[in-house]
């Protein structure tokens, strides 16, 4: 038990002293996950809205695909990206494997379906409400997409936060395509996995606490956003 207490004490001191290694790991985690979520939102928001508001051939197929991808385990995404980026793979020439870019690609693939599926749900509800009025005003279904996205802006912010929560917390994909190389591709979750297995609990605990704080912050922000929606827009 005293071993845990010591680990806990060390963890706190690492946090309080802004330990260099710790901060580098947290920084890379944020860089990778925020980039991935930004790119996922660029694709997922319009894609989800298009599936919800437009009728096009293959729409049902896209819907099924999106929902199926929701449940795909991160390790499988990691494996697919690994195969694509490895030397012998189709994108091997780019030399991206075991770089932060590879991790961004993997998390982007992981998060895009989440954002797209949640967007589809939100925009679909809005579309039911607005479709007739928009058509009456002469808005075509393509032009309706930005309008509907803007109308759902706060719910969609929550969708994006959910995507961020998934990205920052996953370990399977980034450990496969990043390789957990010290000072290069080591992020919070992969470090926790490694340090725990090495018995170095202090660093793992410090990172665990940061992840927990981030999760709390994201959820609190989501709650606040929802509260604002309800108060301002009914």
Partner 1 sequence: MTASDTERQHTADTASILPLRVRDICFDAGGKRLIEHISFTVHAGPCLIVLGPNGAGKSLLLRLCHGLLSPSEGTVEWVEADPIRARSQQAMVFQRPVLLRRSVAANAHFGLRLRRVPRLERQAVVAKALRQGGLSHVANRAARVLSGGEQQRLALVRAWALQPQVLFLDEPTAHLDPAATRAVETLLKQFHAAGTKLIMTTHDLGQARRLADDVIFLHRGRLLEHSPADSFFAQPHSAEAAAFLNGNLLW
Which residues of this protein are in contact with partner 1, per CB under 8 A?
129-130, 132-133, 135-139, 143, 147, 151, 153, 232-234
Structure-token pair, residue 64? 């099924």
CB of residue 134 vs partner 1: minimum separation in angstroms?
Answer: 9
CB of residue 76 vs partner 1: minimum separation in angstroms?
Answer: 38
Structure-token pair, residue 14? 């690492």
CB of residue 148 vs partner 1: minimum separation in angstroms?
Answer: 10
Nearer to partner 1, 144 or 222 (CB): 144
| Upper half-sphere CA count for residue 47 (Cβ side, 13 Å) | 22
CB of residue 1 vs partner 1: minimum separation in angstroms?
Answer: 54
Nearer to partner 1, 81 or 118 (CB): 118
What number of other Cβ atoms are within 10 A of residue 129's Cβ? Answer: 11
CB of residue 157 vs partner 1: minimum separation in angstroms?
Answer: 13
Nearer to partner 1, 147 or 200 (CB): 147
Nearer to partner 1, 9 or 135 (CB): 135
CB of residue 221 vs partner 1: minimum separation in angstroms?
Answer: 19
Nearer to partner 1, 25 or 158 (CB): 158
Nearer to partner 1, 147 or 196 (CB): 147
CA distance 171 to 36: 14
CA distance 213 to 201: 18
| Cα end-to-end distance, the chain, whole Å | 52
């Amino acid at each position: 038990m005293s071993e845990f207490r010591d680990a806990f004490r060390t963890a706190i001191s690492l946090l309080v002293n802004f330990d260099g290694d710790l901060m580098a790991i947290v920084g890379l985690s944020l860089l990778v996950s925020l980039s991935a979520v930004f790119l996922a939102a660029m694709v997922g928001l319009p894609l989800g809205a298009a599936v919800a508001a437009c009728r096009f051939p293959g729409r049902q197929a896209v819907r099924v695909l999106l929902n199926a991808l929701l449940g795909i385990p991160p390790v499988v995404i990691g494996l697919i990206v690994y195969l694509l980026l490895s030397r012998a793979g189709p994108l091997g020439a780019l030399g991206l494997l075991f770089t932060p870019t590879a991790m961004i690609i993997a998390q982007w693939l992981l998060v895009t379906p989440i954002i797209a599926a949640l967007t589809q749900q939100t925009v679909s509800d809005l579309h039911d409400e607005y479709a007739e009025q928009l058509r009456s005003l002469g808005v075509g279904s393509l032009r309706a997409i930005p309008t509907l996205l803007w109308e759902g802006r706060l719910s969609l912010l929550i969708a994006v936060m959910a995507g961020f929560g998934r990205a920052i917390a996953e370990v399977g994909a980034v450990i496969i395509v990043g390789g957990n190389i010290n000072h290069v591709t080591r992020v919070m979750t992969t470090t926790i996995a490694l340090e725990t297995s090495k018995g170095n609990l202090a660093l793992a605990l410090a990172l665990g606490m940061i992840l927990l704080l981030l999760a709390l912050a994201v959820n609190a922000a989501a709650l606040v956003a929802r509260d604002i929606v309800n108060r301002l827009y009914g």
